[in-house]
Structure 1
Amino acid sequence: MPKLSRTSRRTWIAAWAVLCAAGTAATVALNASPAPDPQPEKPVSAECAEYIADIESQLAEAKAQGSHDDGVLAFTRTRAGTDDCSDEVLDHFSGDR
């Protein structure tokens, strides 16, 4: 491996310092920027709203029966021709995580 001359070594150190300064400046700028606007809520079909309300009532019933948060509560829905409400359910309950 060839030996680097003093000038070449200084060039590499200067380039490294410039990149570090640019990275630090970019990090500060990103941290100072305001958070993006929240996404507006998408309209939910009546069937999905009914399904979400059913899940909430089952959760309230389980909590009223003394169920603890350390268990798993599962919901299934298998009717032919129904809307796929998985995205709406995830959007609705994502704040509870």
Structure 2
Amino acid sequence: MPKPIRMNHRSRTAAWAVLCAAGLAATAGLNASSAPDPQPENSVSAECAELIAGIEKQLAKVKQKGTGEEVLAFSRLRIGTEDDCDDDLRNHFRGDQ
């Protein structure tokens, strides 16, 4: 049976430090390369801006009453319209979740 390679304490510590430094460098490189590109601001159409302003007003009314037991629901059914505001609404209210 072959004898195991013997390493002293300093060699183990140096090998461990080199591996840790290599891992940290690789992680930093991967994080830097996978950073998402900033998305350009999309302009909101006038119809969507009007809808968002109306929702903001209704939310302000509910917050002003403030009993805490209100349920605020929005319903909008428009079939066949070109201007669909779903993405604009999600983007605007995403921070309020």
Shorter-chain TM-score tier: 0.5 to 0.7
Q: What is the distance in 2 between the residues matched to 1:63 and 1:56?
A: 10
Name the residue aligned to 1:90.
90
- 1:41-91 CA distance string (max 9 Å, x none): 2011111111111111110111111143x8653211012333221110111
Residue 11 of structure 1 is matched in structure 2 by none
Structure 2 unaligned regions, length at least 5: 7-14
Aligned-partner residue type, residue 78 of structure 1: L
Mapped pair 1:41 → 2:34: no
CA-atom RMSD, angstroms? 3.9
Residues 27 and 72 of structure 1: CA distance in aligned 2, closer, same or farther (over 3 Å): farther
Matches within 5 A, 1:1-97: 20-28=20-28, 38-68=38-68, 72-82=71-81, 83-97=83-97
Taking structure 2 as the reference length, what is the TM-score of the superposition?
Answer: 0.59
Q: Secondary structure at the match of 2:76?
A: coil
- Residue-pair matches, total: 88
Q: Residue 92 of structure 1: CA displacement? A: 0.8
TM-score norm. by structure 1 comes to 0.59
Cα distance change of structure 1 residues 86 and 67 upon mapping to structure 2, 3 Å threshold? farther
Instruction: Report sequence identity in percent.
Output: 66
Deviates more, 1:46-55 or 1:20-29: 20-29
